[in-house]
Amino acid sequence: MKLWSSILLFACLACAGQTPPEASSATSIEVMRIGDLQLSNPSVPRTGLLCTGQLSKEQFDALVRAGYRNFICLRLLSEPGTGWETAHAGALGVQFTRLPIANADAINEANAIELGRILAQTSEPTVLYCKGSSRVGALYGAMLYFVDDSDAQEALQGAREAGLGGLEPRLRVVLEL
């Protein structure tokens, strides 16, 4: 089934006049397969980890149908549009974890280590999200640095691949760049 999906993807891209991604690029292929979900700023910085902005119930359900079993939200319960996920995930039989990242100051070593711990305890595939994915990118980059022992430049690049936006100045401070 995966082979046919890939062939169909390449055929559709060719018909649309686009160059298909390299077969070895799991990141590009995974993002394209979920492209019709209209996610906010989606990216796949590593195999089995989808980073994105806030999910609707319909998107959440579609990702569960697609095989995602772990959802990690970086939003506070008090933020509009969130708070429904815990019960919804429970009803669908998937894992949901909230790691509230309130502001730029929460992009720090302690929270990066906590994200690393959560990711280590979850099996793939996993969705990591916040409102627009900037917190996701920043915290993911900090995790690469503090947990995965990436150097600062590699961590910054990984953060950009995971949706880093307006929090780049804060991440640069955390990475001592």
Q: What is the pLDDT of residues 103-145, one digit of tens each?
A: 999 999 999 999 999 999 998 899 999 999 999 999 999 999 9
Q: Please tell me the distance from the alpha carbon of residue 89 to that of residue 100, in angstroms, as a whole number.
A: 17
Q: What is the pLDDT of residues 137-177, one digit of tens each?
A: 999 999 999 999 999 999 999 999 999 999 999 999 999 98
Q: Please tell me the distance from the alpha carbon of residue 121 to that of residue 108, in angstroms, as a whole number.
A: 20
pLDDT for residue 37 is more than 80: yes
Q: Please tell me the distance from the alpha carbon of residue 135 to that of residue 156, in angstroms, as a whole number.
A: 13
Q: Please tell me the distance from the alpha carbon of residue 20 to that of residue 9, in angstroms, as a whole number.
A: 8
What value does the mean pLDDT take over residues 72-76? 98
Show the tokens assigned to 99: 């790691």
What value does the mean pLDDT take over residues 46-51? 94
Q: Which of 34-38, 62-66, 89-93, 129-133 has the lowest mean pLDDT?
A: 34-38
